[in-house]
């Protein structure tokens, strides 16, 4: 019997990915593998489907941002779920990241 993953990363358009479910210590490394494989110019993450995110998930976002600062793809975050928005606010990242509520 297989267990369905509690997360997903789906490419919704070239350079655009929808992340959904729980991004935690278990799933964050796999989410990172999927997103760090992107080699385009702009990486757009729709986080509206994220139901839970912990520090491991936040670390993935921070690493993607650091990659941008080092000349990697521009990181754009769209429609952060309430869970993600709250973590960004608490962690002080809301002012550092490029975040949009637009689809």
Q: How many domains does the chain have?
A: 1
Cα 25 to chain centroid, rounded: 14
49 belongs to a structural domain? yes
Cα 77 to chain centroid, rounded: 7
Looking at residue 39, which CATH number applies to its domain?
3.30.750.24
80 belongs to a structural domain? yes
| Residue-wise pLDDT tens digits, 52-87 | 999 999 999 999 999 999 999 999 999 999 999 999
Q: Which long-range contacts (CB under 8 A, 24 or more apart) does 27-31 make?
A: 27/57, 28/56, 28/57, 28/59, 28/60, 30/5, 31/7, 31/57, 31/60
| Residue-wise pLDDT tens digits, 83-102 | 999 999 998 998 899 999 87
94 belongs to a structural domain? yes
2 belongs to a structural domain? no
**DSSP for residue 73:** P
């Amino acid at each position: 019997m297989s267990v369905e993953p509690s997360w997903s990363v789906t490419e919704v358009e070239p350079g655009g990915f929808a992340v959904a479910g729980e991004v935690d210590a278990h799933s964050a490394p796999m989410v990172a593998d999927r997103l760090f494989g992107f080699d385009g110019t702009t990486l757009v993450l729709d986080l509206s489907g994220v139901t839970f995110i912990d520090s491991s998930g936040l670390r993935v976002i921070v690493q993607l941002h650091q990659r941008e600062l080092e000349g990697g793809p521009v990181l754009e975050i769209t429609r952060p779920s309430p869970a993600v928005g709250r973590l960004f606010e608490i962690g002080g990242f809301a002012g550092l990241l490029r975040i949009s509520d637009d689809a």
